[in-house]
Amino acid sequence: MARKYFGTDGVRGRANQYPMTAEIALRIGAAAGQYFRNDNTKVHRVVIGKDTRLSGYMFENALTAGLTSAGMNVLLLGPVPTPAVGLLTPSMRADLGIMISASHNPHEDNGIKFFGPDGFKLSDHVEAEIELLIENGVAPAPVEAIGRAQRIDDGLFRYVERVKSSFPNGMRLDGMKVVIDCANGAAYRAAPEVLWELGAEVIAVGISPNGININDKCGSTAPQTAAETVVSHGADVGICLDGDADRVIIIDETGAVAEGDQLMALMATRWARNRQLRGDTLVSTVMSNLGLERYLGEHGIALERTAVGDRYVVERMREGGFNLGGEQSGHIVMSDYSTTGDGLMAGLQFLAEIVRTGTPASQLINVFDPVPQLLKNVRFTPSEDPLNAPKVQQEISAAEAALGDTGRLLIRKSGTEPLIRVMAECEDQALLIETVDSICAAVESASAAA
């Protein structure tokens, strides 16, 4: 069945436009509530967190209305990171967890992410079942079974303590100067507090959310401000989170930026040395650099690739019994500590390595030499599929032949935006640029002609 509402990470789109309207959110809440309220003999609960987008108020209220109409009691956490919802759903014995966030997207967008009672994101099968309920409608609960809603004041405190517990016991950050960029998002309170309580001197940016400045020239997708702050303050390291704090980008003391692949390489090799890496395997997506795969192979570590999306990374980790995975974009999943990507926890692991080794960040983030990689996005009309155009198929075939065994080509539709993502890797820089540009031009032409 074609997915009408759900993408790679819940439901996402521009606020107040289909499907991200208050009406649809109410229907989604009612459908999810009915699906998880499968036993009338007990109280059913759902926890809802959100980031700092202005539209979060609207969706919080709409979801609450739908969920309570289906007989679910709603616990409202307020602004908390996405991983906090994953952690608190089983901790608070909830049947369902919901995070209202569009992650790294601009404030005009919003999204609804779902966690099951075990704290993990829902499977494709469960999302399909909920979609059927959205389409077919649900029977409201009897009036005496309508749910209640209440604010929870200590959700953020619970999350802060859980994050601190992931830091090595007895280790401190005393004497370390850390820049933390919270993207004016969900971690604007939690992240500076965690770092300060662990002993760091904290220089915080992106901690003044106003509803429309989330991810605006700050955070993991725009690390320039944090990099400049690191250099100007003489900080030891910078940590950049995105709007819902489930991804991280590291900045060294010189202002250089490291992607998630470098952090995963560092963590995987250290965990392997400590016999902590289960199955001697790292799970990542098809987007991770070929250089990472080669580097891990040299150290006896396997790299298993999945479709793009931290949900698919986690699914493979659970299937294989692995405990470390992530994405190039900075989602780092450590299943010993969390059920989903947690940017703050991953950042703490990097800080622990600085303390443990006495090595500056600039040396720790240059773990392997990446193969030159180029990624470009082409916007298209969602009702059309330019990838099926004969000219696009011809350009793809020609590019694959030109790259041969020396490179890699990946073309896919974004699961969160109407974009075709064209990515290639190749040691030959000129061939790399020519390959990506030719495919992008063909896609643009096909999209314009549609």
Q: What is the pTM of this model?
A: 0.89
Measured on CA atoms in the order 9, 15, 20, 26, is the torsion positive or negative? positive
Q: What angle do CA 297, 300, 303 make, to 5 degrees?
A: 50
The pLDDT, as a whole number, for residue 382 is 72
Nearest to 399 by CA among 371, 440, 438, 446: 438
* Residues 360 and 426: beta-carbon distance below 8 Å: no
Classify 410 as helix, strand or coil: strand
Distance CA 423, CA 9 (A): 21
Residue identified by tokens 């030891």 is 236
Residue identified by tokens 């494709």 is 124
Measured on CA atoms in the order 84, 87, 91, 97, is the torsion positive or negative? positive
The pLDDT, as a whole number, for residue 138 is 92
* Residues 242 and 183: beta-carbon distance below 8 Å: yes
How many CB atoms sit inside 10 A of residue 364's CB? 20
Classify 73 as helix, strand or coil: strand
Classify 419 as helix, strand or coil: strand
Distance CA 283, CA 101 (A): 25
Distance CA 302, CA 122 (A): 27
Distance CA 110, CA 11 (A): 8
Tens of pLDDT, residues 189-246: 999 999 999 999 999 999 999 999 999 999 999 999 999 999 999 999 999 999 999 9
* Residues 178 and 202: beta-carbon distance below 8 Å: yes
Domains of the chain by range and CATH?
6-153 (3.40.120.10), 156-370 (3.40.120.10), 373-449 (3.30.310.50)
Question: Which structure tokens are listed for 308?
Answer: 């793009």
| E strands in 297-343 | 302-306, 324-326, 332-334
Distance CA 160, CA 344 (A): 10
Residue identified by tokens 């919901």 is 98
Question: Which structure tokens are listed for 337?
Answer: 């500590």
Catalytic: which of 69, 101, 103, 284?
103
Distance CA 333, CA 325 (A): 5
User: Cα-flanking dihedrals φ and ψ of residue 312, to 5°?
Assistant: -75, -35
In the chain, the percentage of residues whose pLDDT exceeds 70 is 98
Annotated catalytic residue 55: no
Residue identified by tokens 């020609």 is 398
Tens of pLDDT, residues 115-155: 999 999 999 899 999 999 999 989 999 999 999 999 999 99
* Residues 264 and 285: beta-carbon distance below 8 Å: no
Using 50 as the pLDDT threshold, list the residues of the chain that sit under it.
Answer: none
Question: What are the CA-CA distances from residue 426 to residues 294, 368, 370, 400 (Å)?
Answer: 14, 16, 10, 11
Task: State the pairing for strand pair 302-306/324-326.
Answer: unpaired
